[in-house]
């Protein structure tokens, strides 16, 4: 900008010095008259205009007495940091390596000022030297002196300095400024920044965002509720505000006003006829920004270089937030604590109610709610900043689900077969102790089985099934004890017995049976099967009396007629064979070689088909 002179001076002070006369406007400032942010880009430069500085431009690392303009700061062992300008991408700053000799560093003129007007100059400064570093004693600190002169460069209007800024462990941009007033008839000034110090190890800095603004009263902009902004809900309809600007008379003695409006807070337009300290807005249905431009004289309102602007008053019209989203039905198991959950966007909260509209919240500002009982509850969105509510509430139901209704069982199955075991519940998931996951399983072994049944709500119950095996009868031995048939089985069970296949009894013993063939049947009472055996019942006498009385005169064996193999041997007490025959129809009268044997006990060995029978009988005379 033509006519603006900026000079930088670096001076070495003791580390204990205070910043000298650095100050900022305590009131409101105007829009920037001049701003230097050195642009953006990954390449260095361009160099400053001729006459702006006595330092040499380099496209790279500046040595003592030179500078560069770059987005890269990590030359030598300096800090690696971005420029100061907010929102920049690859923003540049002025990077300086101080000269060994003091002198004017940077100069520019500014024109177009208004006479008798207060202004603020400001710049951001950064010491590039890190701490610790390789310089002796921590390096030379930077110190920038700011001076504002009249255009003849003979009258100093204002000055100040940063004071010594030493090396820092992390890069820190710091803001410094001056406030001054133009003289009558004065509309140009010179701004100098001067280096009075020495170059060497240290005294390396970056400068960015140099600005120049008008300075005026501190202006309080409030509505009728003494608020500096307002947030309203779109659902409440149009709104109006009564705004009032109140200056503190710290700079201006008189005040001229021009109210301005904006849709974005950036681009402003004057409001025709709005030139008083108060302003009544029209009905508003959307966002609106207001500010007021102020000068000591109405003539200066047309020149932005001579006027200041108030802080911005914003009316923000907030649309109703969306209702919360969440699972409309939450099912949990009986005995557990139920939790309803809902989701809203950032900057919104949830209040919970027991009805679809009205009433007091059961719980505020929580995205989870644990109801005391099952039922339907309602979640309402509240915009945190505005307090605006969703137009409807979201209904969320909590339902307590009982665990699966299953009962333990004791079952049985027939030996040698298989059995189906059922969980006894439809529509769940299943985990059997066998590892299977179906509602039913087929097993072949007795034992205890369990199945964990889980319903759709995740509620689980364990069912236990005791499976017992029913033994199938197996005839292991049959005895003919004289006229009694005795049946033995291999394993005990719930059996019944028969010797004809039709008539059954619980006892395995059948007394008073005549000799002869029988069909022996042992069956399991639950129908699991039977065991059958064709058996020839032999009735062997326990004694006989061949004494001529016609009663029991001969030794005979009942039931032997059907045998295919028969051999009978009879022995006396001495073990001598006294009789032998292969005739099943034996009728022995107690003779040996035609002579009667004496009364005594005799022993026999009978080979009857596949069995050998041994015993004794008595012969009585």
Residues 151-206: pLDDT tens digits? 999 999 999 998 889 999 999 999 999 999 888 888 899 988 887 767 788 889 99
Residue 517 and residue 433 in one domain: no
Q: Is 323 a domain residue?
A: no
Residue 188 and residue 140 in one domain: yes
Residue 33 and residue 176 in one domain: yes
Q: Which residues of the chain have pLDDT under 50?
A: 1-20
CATH of the domain at 158: 2.60.120
Domain ends where: 352, 373, 401? 401
Q: Is 324 a domain residue?
A: no
CATH of the domain at 440: 2.60.40.10
Task: Specify the number of domains making up the chain.
Answer: 6
Residue 243 and residue 312 in one domain: yes
Residue 132 and residue 225 in one domain: no
What is the tens place of the pLDDT at every residue in 401-442?
A: 999 999 999 999 999 999 999 999 999 999 999 999 999 999
Residue 238 and residue 155 in one domain: no
Q: For residue 594, what are the domain limits?
A: 543-619
Residue 340 and residue 438 in one domain: no
User: What distances in angstroms separate CA 79 from CA 37, 59, 83, 132, 219, one per listed residue?
Assistant: 19, 18, 11, 11, 40
**Residue-wise DSSP of 15-79:** TTPPPBS----SS-B-S-SEEE---B-SS--PPPPTTS-SSEE-SSS--TTEEEEES---STT--
Domain ends where: 291, 318, 345? 318
Q: Is 350 a domain residue?
A: yes
User: What distances in angstroms separate CA 211 from CA 24, 34, 122, 191, 542, one per listed residue?
Assistant: 12, 5, 5, 11, 141
Task: Please report the pLDDT score of residue 559 as a whole number.
Answer: 94
Nearest to 77 by CA among 141, 167, 17, 165: 167
Domain ends where: 485, 519, 537? 537
**Residue-wise DSSP of 116-160:** T-EEEEEEEEEE--BSS-SSGGG-BPB-EEEEEEETTS-SEEEEE
Nearest to 373 by CA among 407, 398, 347: 398
Residue 64 and residue 203 in one domain: yes
Long-range contacts of 474-478 (CB under 8 A, 24+ apart): 474/522, 474/531, 475/520, 475/522, 475/531, 475/532, 475/533, 478/520, 478/533, 478/535
Task: Please report the pLDDT score of residue 305 as a whole number.
Answer: 87
Task: Please report the pLDDT score of residue 171 as a whole number.
Answer: 95
Residue 238 and residue 207 in one domain: no
Q: Is 423 a domain residue?
A: yes
Residue 123 and residue 167 in one domain: yes
């Amino acid at each position: 900008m033509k006519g603006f002179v900026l000079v930088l001076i670096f001076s070495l002070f003791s580390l204990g010095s205070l910043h000298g006369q650095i100050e900022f406007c305590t009131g409101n400032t105007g829009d920037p008259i001049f701003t230097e942010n050195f642009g953006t880009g990954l390449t260095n430069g361009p160099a400053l205009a001729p006459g702006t500085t006595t330092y040499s431009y380099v496209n790279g690392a500046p040595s003592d007495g030179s500078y560069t303009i770059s987005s890269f700061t990590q030359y030598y062992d300096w800090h690696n940091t971005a420029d100061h300008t907010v929102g920049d991408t690859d923003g540049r700053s002025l990077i300086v390596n101080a000269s060994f000799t003091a002198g004017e560093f940077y100069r520019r003129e500014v024109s177009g000022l208004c006479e008798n007007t207060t202004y603020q100059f400001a710049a951001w400064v950064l010491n590039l030297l890190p701490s610790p570093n390789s310089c002796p004693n921590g390096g030379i600190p930077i110190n920038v002196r700011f001076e504002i002169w009249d255009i003849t460069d003979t009258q100093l209007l204002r000055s100040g300095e940063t004071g010594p800024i030493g090396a820092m462990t992390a890069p820190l941009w710091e803001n410094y400024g001056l406030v001054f007033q133009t003289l009558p008839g004065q509309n140009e000034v010179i701004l100098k920044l001067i280096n009075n110090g020495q170059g060497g190890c240290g005294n390396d800095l970056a400068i960015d965002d140099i600005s120049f603004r008008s300075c005026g009263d501190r202006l309080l902009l409030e509505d009728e509720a003494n608020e500096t902004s307002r947030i309203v809900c779109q659902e409440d309809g149009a709104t109006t505000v009564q705004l009032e600007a109140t200056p503190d008379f710290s700079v201006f003695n008189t005040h001229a006003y021009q109210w301005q409006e904006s849709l974005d807070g950036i681009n402003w337009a004057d409001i025709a006829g709005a030139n008083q300290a108060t302003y009544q807005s029209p009905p508003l249905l959307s966002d609106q920004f207001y500010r007021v431009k102020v000068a000591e004289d109405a003539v200066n309102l047309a020149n932005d270089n001579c006027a200041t602007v108030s802080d911005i008053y914003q009316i923000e019209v907030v649309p109703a937030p969306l209702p919360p989203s969440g699972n409309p039905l939450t099912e949990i198991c009986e005995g557990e604590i139920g939790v309803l959950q809902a989701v809203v966007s950032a900057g919104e909260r949830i209040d919970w109610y027991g009805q679809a509209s009205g009433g007091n919240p059961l719980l505020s500002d929580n995205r989870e709610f644990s109801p005391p009982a099952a039922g339907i509850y309602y979640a309402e969105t509240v915009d945190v900043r505005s307090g605006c509510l969703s137009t409807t509430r979201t209904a969320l139901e909590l339902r307590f689900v009982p665990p699966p209704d299953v009962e333990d069982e004791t079952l049985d199955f027939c030996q040698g077969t298989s059995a189906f075991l059922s969980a006894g519940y439809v529509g769940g998931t299943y985990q059997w102790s066998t590892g299977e996951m179906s509602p039913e399983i087929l097993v072949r072994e007795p034992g205890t089985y369990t199945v964990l049944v889980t319903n759709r709500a995740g509620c689980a119950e364990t069912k236990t099934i005791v499976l017992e095996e029913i033994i199938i009868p197996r005839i292991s031995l049959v005895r003919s004890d004289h006229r009694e048939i005795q049946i033995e089985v291999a394993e005990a069970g719930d059996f019944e017995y028969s010797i004809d296949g039709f008539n059954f009894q619980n006892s395995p013993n059948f007394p008073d049976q005549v000799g002869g063939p029988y069909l022996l049947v042992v069956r399991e009472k639950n129908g699991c099967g039977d065991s059958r055996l064709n058996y020839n019942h032999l009735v062997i006498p326990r004694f006989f009396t061949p004494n001529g009385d016609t009663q029991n005169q001969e030794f005979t064996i009942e039931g032997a007629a059907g045998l295919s193999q028969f051999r009978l041997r009879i022995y006396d007490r001495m073990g001598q064979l006294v009789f032998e025959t292969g005739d099943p129809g034996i009728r022995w009268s107690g003779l040996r070689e035609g002579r009667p044997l004496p009364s005594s006990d005799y022993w026999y060995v009978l080979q009857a088909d596949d069995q050998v029978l041994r015993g004794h009988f008595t012969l009585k005379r």
